[in-house]
Structure 1
Amino acid sequence: MSIADIETAAERIAGGVVRTPTVPSPGLSAALGAPVLLKLEHLQRAGSFKPRGVLAKLASLTDTERAAGVVAVSGGNHGLAVAEVAGAAGVDAVVVMPRTAPARSVAAARAAGADVQLTSDIAAAFAQAGELQRAGRTLVHPFDDPVIVAAQGTVGLELARDAVALGEPPTDVLVSIGGGALISGVATAVRALLPGTRVWGVETVGAEAMSAALAAGGPTPVTISSAITTLSAPSASQLTYDHVRALVHEVLVVDDAEAHRGTLTLAEHAGIWAEPAAGCLVPAARRIVERHPDARLALVVCGANADVADVVRDAARP
């Protein structure tokens, strides 16, 4: 992936997505003991960064492919984005989700017009989506697609440009990892526009597809046990693994309770409501500041699709 690919993707999706802001957070800066910028992608349509990739993918389809419809597999946010974007474009969509997906995401995807099919787990969801693809639908993959990766990289393109305009370029950018499309695209943009900046990935215990891939020297299946379904990819792809291996400084792993408490920290100190897939960045940021006391941080707040009661309950668990 190149910065030119990401700039092309930005032109392709312009007008179809929200140009989300990048802002300093004095409250979170005080809590972490380091300057913090937040890229507020939780304000994106459908409540996460995912519509960027979906818009770019649908724009690349032929008339025949659009007429045949699309299929997506998702732990929550990707399916919701496909449902909303495809519904608005008049493209028939099937979304396959595990039964553990957030109820609000399932309901919202159905409300947007998608045929939502539930499976026992995320691996079964991928298998079912594959069957529908072989039957003629186009698969809108959540991460194993260069069109998707380039479009998710527009988050990093905007962040880097905004940081320069603010006069606060970060030394360290934190991005959560599910299948790895977001961090692959963001790392490509940030490393091109802010040379020397470290990009860190963050996963949760029991959803460590990228950590496992890095340890094994390539994508390998993992058993999912994390409650944070929006990060629960059954494996990385070769595409995302290659980008992370080349461009990401390190992948940190936090547990589910830390991620949920991080969501509450963002609410209390930054005044924003984010999902635990973004909350996991907060405990990771603390580790980075411990290692690099002079760090200037930028956190990609990837989504906001989480119920308050669920987060408060899970944050209290030991």
Structure 2
Amino acid sequence: MIGITDIEAAAERIAGHVVRTPTVPSPGLSALLGVPVTAKLELLQRTGSFKARGAAAKLLSLGEAERSAGVVAVSGGNHGIALAVMAAALHVKATVVMPRSAPARAVEIAEGAGASVRLTDGMAEAFDLADRLRQEGLTPVHPFDDPVVIAGQGTVGLEFADDAGDVTDVLVSVGGGGLIAGVAAALRARRPGVRVWGVETEGAEAMSRALAAGGPVPVPLSSIVSTLSAPAVSRLTYDHVAGLVADVLVVPDREAVRGVLDLADHAKVWTEPATGCLLPAARRVVERVGEGARIGMVVCGGNATTADVMAWSSRFGLR
């Protein structure tokens, strides 16, 4: 299990390489949900998502031989962007493996940063290719099954604990579980009375199915939300969520896209569906907790183009 000392060490390591993002009350979301809402604006992070933290923490922990070999990572979008940009800043050669369903903009940014991008038919195939490249000598930077990466993502929770006002319930998106594992570990240490809730989209339910099965299981992927589409969680992230998280809620893709539009209208932030899913889930948390709820949201990323959101809105009949 990741401890608070691991997360504090990661915060020291990545200071100067990442942004301490704002944690602010949201009057618009508070009015929309009927309870106080505080948002951690991690979409203002370098590379547009929290992933820069874990990538920086891992890259800065590598020995000279590991750096010289070059690094490889699998990504549905944001991890690849983060690794490519942070590796370029630290003069490390990076290879990013993405499924063809990954956002075209993510591929462009990773390539623009100097990374070699390899595309596969699906996420499972991406993990297989990355494993072969690891066997050929590249240094893996796993998006979530790595205690150093999790500790880096946990710095989001460390900052939230220090900067937020009085909150009772914090919502965190779940793909492979690295972010929620780190955030939950930080909050358990710094704010032990706060409940942490995970949120997934239908067709990307690796953590909720793992919880139902008693451990990680492979899951079929069909969600439009490629940035949450892990083919399975790891034992490391599962153990953190099973031990530290109140529940993992599952939201339809349509509601995640509606959440993107509502966040733009009411919170004045431009997010992606991996963040948009938090808003419908927050309504369910408020129903379960009651009017005494004081909600925190980790606004984890904003790497969706206007064209992406327009296409999704049209697909689901949203205006």
Question: Same fold by TM-score, threshold 0.5 exceeded?
Answer: yes
Residues 72-91 of structure 1 aligned to structure 2 (within 5 Å): 72-91=73-92
Please name the residue that 1:119 is paired with: 120
How far apart in 2 are the matches of 1:186 and 1:65?
28
How far apart in 1 are the matches of 2:183 and 2:192?
13
Please name the residue that 2:288 is paired with: 291
Q: What letter corresponds to residue 16 of structure 2 in structure 1?
A: G
CA RMSD of aligned residues (A): 0.8
Please name the residue that 2:150 is paired with: 149
Deviation at 1:309, TM superposition (A): 2.6
Pair 1:229-2:226 in alignment? yes
Deviation at 1:60, TM superposition (A): 1.1
Q: What letter corresponds to residue 87 of structure 1 in structure 2?
A: A
Pair 1:55-2:53 in alignment? no
Please name the residue that 1:219 is paired with: 216
| Counterpart secondary structure, 1:175 | strand
Please name the residue that 2:43 is paired with: 42
1:178·1:231 contact (CA, 8 Å) conserved in 2? yes
How far apart in 1 are the matches of 2:130 and 2:288?
42
How far apart in 2 are the matches of 1:245 and 1:312?
36
Q: What letter corresponds to residue 59 of structure 2 in structure 1?
A: L
Kindly tell me the number of residue pairs found equivalent between the two proteins: 314
How far apart in 1 are the matches of 2:166 and 2:116?
43
1:260·1:312 contact (CA, 8 Å) conserved in 2? no
How far apart in 2 are the matches of 1:220 and 1:180?
13
How far apart in 2 are the matches of 1:48 and 1:169?
25
Please name the residue that 1:198 is paired with: 195
Deviation at 1:12, TM superposition (A): 0.6
Q: Which runs of 5+ in 2 are unaligned?
A: none
Deviation at 1:312, TM superposition (A): 3.1
Normalised TM-score (structure 1): 0.97
| Counterpart secondary structure, 2:17 | coil
1:192-234 Cα shifts (integer Å, max 9, x gaps): 1112111000000000000111011100000000010000000
How far apart in 2 are the matches of 1:192 and 1:65?
32
How far apart in 2 are the matches of 1:315 and 1:190?
35
Please name the residue that 1:307 is paired with: 305
Task: Report percent identity of matched pairs.
Answer: 66
How far apart in 1 are the matches of 2:29 and 2:170?
15
When residues 312 and 32 of structure 1 are mapped into structure 2, their CA distance, relative to the original with a 3 A threshold, is: farther
Pair 1:140-2:141 in alignment? yes
Structure 1 residue corresponding to 2:244, chosen from 243, 247, 254: 247
1:67-119 Cα shifts (integer Å, max 9, x gaps): 11000000000001010011111111110000000000000000000000100
